[in-house]
Amino acid sequence: MSDENQIYLPDSFLNLYRDARQRLTAPLADIRARYELCEDLAQQLEEHARGRSIHAHGSEVDLLLRYHAGLADPEAGFSAAEAVWVIKRLSELLGWECPALPGDEAPAA
């Protein structure tokens, strides 16, 4: 078994790539690569957000919404669902309440 196959893919991320019949809509290797990208970004944004929250003129919610707006821009290279997932993951890492995000069908948990 290769190392990449040992990466745990959370259901919350896999669900971004499931159709109505719960089948994956992309090859698992592609999903794994997108997950690694999104998780790495959430980890990097955590460090950035912790530094900015002290100096930000807005609230934690404002900061998360600004990050989401940047990720949701088509030029950022993330799908709308991935942008929502990254921000939800970031809020989880920070221990902040996740605001309602544009394009999110499920309520923030």
pLDDT tens figures, 27-81: 999 999 999 999 999 999 999 998 876 665 678 999 999 999 999 999 999 999 9
Reported confidence tier of residue 18, pLDDT bands at 50, 70, 90: very high
Break the chain into its structural domains and give their ranges: 27-101
Task: Specify the pLDDT at position 55.
Answer: 66
The answer for residues whose C-beta is within 8 angstroms of residue 108's C-beta and 6 or more apart is 88, 91, 97, 98, 99, 100, 101
How many angstroms separate the first and last alpha carbons of the chain?
34
Contact between 65 and 91 under an 8 Å Cβ cutoff? The reply is: no
Helix (H, G, I), strand (E, B) or coil at 18: strand
Residue 67 to residue 93: CA distance in whole angstroms: 14
Which pLDDT score is estimated for 103? 82
Residues composing the chain: 109
pLDDT at position 104: 86
